Structure 1
Amino acid sequence: MSRLRVGLTGGIGSGKSTVAHMLGELGALVVDTDAISRQLTAPGGPAISAISASFGADYIDASGALDRARMRELVFREPAARHRLEQLLHPLIGAETVRRAALATSGQAVVFDVPLLVESGRWRALVDRVLVVDCSAATQVERVTRRSQLAPDEVERIISQQASRPRRLAAADAVICNDGVSLEQLRAQVAGLWNFWQPSRP
C-alpha cells in the first residue's frame, strides 16, 4: 500500500504541535523538524561546532547549546545571517528527516511537522498533502506570551517573519481551525480529516 505523506504547518502559536500529537495518536509517524533542529543545536549537538566557527563562540551559551535568543536577534537584524544559519542546519535536518521517515512501517502515513513549510518553497514537491493549522494573529500572540518569556511585540515580530496567513492558507490542501474551539472540538476536526484521508485498512 502506498504511504501517505503529509506536510503539517502553521504559524507560531497556532497549535500545530498539538495537532501533530493527535495525528500520532491516530497512527501516523510524526517527524518533527523543529525538534530535530533543537537536537542538532543542543549541548554537544552535531551543528554546534559549525555554528561556533561561522558565528563565533558568543552564539553558544554556557551549557554548550545554541544561544537561541542571541541568534534570533541577529537573524532579525541581518537576513544574510538567517541564510547562513539555514545553510548550516538544513542539510543536517534534511538527512535526519529522511532517516526518521524511513522508520515508518508498511503503509503507515508520515506527517512532516515543518514550521516553515510554506517559506521553504521545497516541501510541496515532497508531500502528497499540505495541512495547515490556522488561527488569528491575536490568538497566536496570546498563546505564545502565555507559554513563554517573550513579550507581545517580540511575538508579533516573529509572526512578521513567517509566511502571511493568506499565503499559508493558499498552500493548504486542508485547514484545521484552532481558534475559539475546545480541545475536544479540535480533536474531532483532526480525526474527521484523518479518517477521510486514511480510510480504515482491511
Structure 2
Amino acid sequence: MIVGLTGGIACGKSTVARMFEQLGCVIIDADQVAREVVAPGEEGLEAVVRRFGPSVLNEDGTLDRKSLGDLVFKEEKARQDLNAILHPLIRKRMNQKKEKALKDHPPLIIMDIPLLYESKQEQTVEAVIVVYVSPDEQLRRLMERDHLTYDDAKRRINSQWSIEEKKQRADYLVDNSGSLFETREQVESLFFKLVKEIGNDGIKS
C-alpha cells in the first residue's frame, strides 16, 4: 500500500515518518530527494543556478539553501519558478525509489511529501495521513527550530496550504501536539489499521 504523509511545516512530520520506519515501513522522503537532485553535478542544481544566479551557491559549489530560501519565500514568482524546476525531478526520482521498494514487499510504503496537496500528488497515493499541531504551536515551533522572526515564520507558513485545509482533505490524522508517547500510540494504531486493511501482517522484528 502506498501512503502519502504530509502536514504543515514544523508539525513533526519527520518524527512521525521515523516512527513508521521503526515499524518496518519504507520511507521515501521528498526532502531528502530534493537535496539529491540539487547535488553538485545534478541537472537540478544547474537549472537553479541558471534561474537564480551564482549567489545561491556556497564556495564549494554546493547549494546555499539559506540564500535560496530567502529568495523564494519573499517572492511568489521565485517560489513558483523553483517548484517548476524541482518538482518534476523530485517526482521522477521518488517514483524510481517507489518501484524499487515495491519489489521488497514492505508492509507500507510511506511517501513523505511536505507539499503533497500543493503539488497535486494526492492522486499518486492510496491514502493520505496529515500530521498536525495547532496554528499557534506550529508558529512557535518554526520560530524556535529555524531561528526565524515572527514575520519570516508567518511568511513560510502562509506559503503552504493551511493545516485546516490539509486536515479536511486527509484520510487519517496524527495529532502531534502532545508527548512523543502519545504520538507513537497514534502511529502504531494507524499502522496496524492500514496493515489489516491490506491483509499484510509483515512487521519488522
TM-score by length of 2: 0.88
Residue 101 of structure 1 pairs with residue 94 of structure 2: no
What displacement does 1:201 show? 2.5
Equivalent in 109, 122, 143 of residue 145 of structure 1: 143
Q: What is residue 172 of structure 1 aligned with on the other side? A: 170
2:59 aligned with 1:66, yes or no?
no
Taking structure 1 as reference, are residues 127 and 85 closer, same or farther at Cα in structure 2, changes over 3 Å only?
Answer: same
Using the aligned pairs only, state the percent identity: 36
Query: Which of 10, 29, 32 is the matching residue for 2:29?
Result: 32
Matched, 1:182 2:169: no
Partner of 1:16: 13
Q: How many residues align?
A: 197
Match of 1:111 in 2: 110
> Which amino acid letter does the alignment assign opposite residue 201 of structure 1?
D
Q: Match for residue 201 of structure 2?
A: 201
Task: Describe the superposition over 1:90-137 as per-residue Cα deviations: whole angstroms up to 9, x where unpaired.
Answer: 12111110111122212542110000111112x121111010001012
Find the aligned partners of 2:125 and 2:41 in 1 and give their Cα distance: 32
Q: 1:125 matched to which residue of 2? A: 123
Q: SS of 1:102's equivalent?
A: helix
For residues 166 and 96 of structure 2, the distance between their equivalents in structure 1, rounded to whole angstroms, comes to 27
Q: Is the counterpart of residue 54 in structure 1 residue 51 in structure 2?
A: yes
- 8 Å contact kept, 1:44–1:65: no
The separation in 2 between residues aligned to 1:29 and 1:194, in whole angstroms, is 12
User: How far off its partner does 1:183 sit?
Assistant: 0.7
Deviates most, 64-73 or 32-41:
64-73
How far does residue 143 in structure 1 lie from its aligned partner after superposition?
A: 1.9
How far the C-alpha of 1:186 sits from its partner, in A, is: 0.6
Following the alignment from structure 2 to structure 1, what is the Cα–Cα distance between the partners of residues 150 and 39?
Answer: 26
Contact 1:119 1:163 in 2 (8 A): yes
Instruction: Specify every segment of 5 or more residues in structure 1 that has no aligned partner in the other structure, as ranges.
Output: none
Show CA shifts across 1:7-37 (max 9, x none): 1001111010000011111111100001111
Measured after TM superposition, the shift of residue 43 of structure 1 is 4.2
Q: Which stretch shows the higher mean deviation, 185-194 or 89-98?
A: 89-98
Using the TM superposition, name which of 20-29 and 71-80 deviates more.
71-80
Shift of 1:45: 4.2
Three-state SS of the structure 1 residue aligned to 2:100 is coil
**Partner Cα distance (1:143, 1:63) in 2:** 31
**2:5–2:110 CA contact under 8 A, matched in 1:** yes
Q: Cα offset for 1:54? A: 2.0
For 1:106 and 1:165, how far apart are their aligned partners in 2? 32
CA-atom RMSD, angstroms?
1.7
Deviation at 1:149, TM superposition (A): 2.8
| d(CA) in 1 for partners of 2:122, 2:27 | 17
CA–CA distance in structure 1, aligned partners of residues 42 and 13 of structure 2: 25
The 1:45/1:147 distance shift into structure 2, 3 A limit, reads: farther
Q: What stretches of structure 2 of length at least 5 have no aligned partner?
A: none
